[in-house]
Every structure is written in C-alpha cells, then in structure tokens.
Amino acid sequence: MAALSAPLCRICFKDVGKTVDGEPFIACSVCVYPVCRLCYEDEREDGKQSCPQCNTRYKRHKGRQSL
C-alpha cells in the first residue's frame, strides 16, 4: 500500500506544510493550487500577489501583515 504524502508546492517542489493551526496550508481558497508558505509570501511581497493557476488575488493568512 502506498503511503500518502503531503502535497508538494508547484513552484519549488517542497512540502506545502501546515498552518499555525496544524491544517494543510492552502494559499488559494478558490482553486487550492498547491503553493508553500515561502513561495506564497514571495509572491505576495514581490510578485503579482495572485495565484499562478487561477490569478485570484491572494488573501492575507492568519498571523500575516496586509500589503
């Protein structure tokens, strides 16, 4: 039986990781495109501030400053 693995970031191919509440990190609530926290933060600070798949503007996550 194959082991279930955590989703991988489609930008850097590392583990997407968890939120401060222990839930899987979801950068885009519209299409749930797998992006890790680091790539999400980079995109919010230096990029288009939107999901690379559906172009929905990223929302601020718990514990993060608004831009």
Domains of the chain: 1-61 (3.30.40.10)
Q: What is the largest CA-CA distance in the chain?
A: 45
pLDDT one-digit tens code per residue, 18-67: 988 888 899 999 999 999 999 999 999 998 999 999 999 998 776 554 44
| Cα(47)–Cα(50) distance, integer angstroms | 8
Q: What residue has token string 């401060």?
A: 20
- pTM assigned to the model: 0.76
Mapped to the 3 state alphabet, what secondary structure does the chain carry?
Answer: CCCCCCCECCCCCCECCECCCCCECCCCCCCCCCCCHHHHHHHHHHCCCECCCCCCECCCCCCCCCC
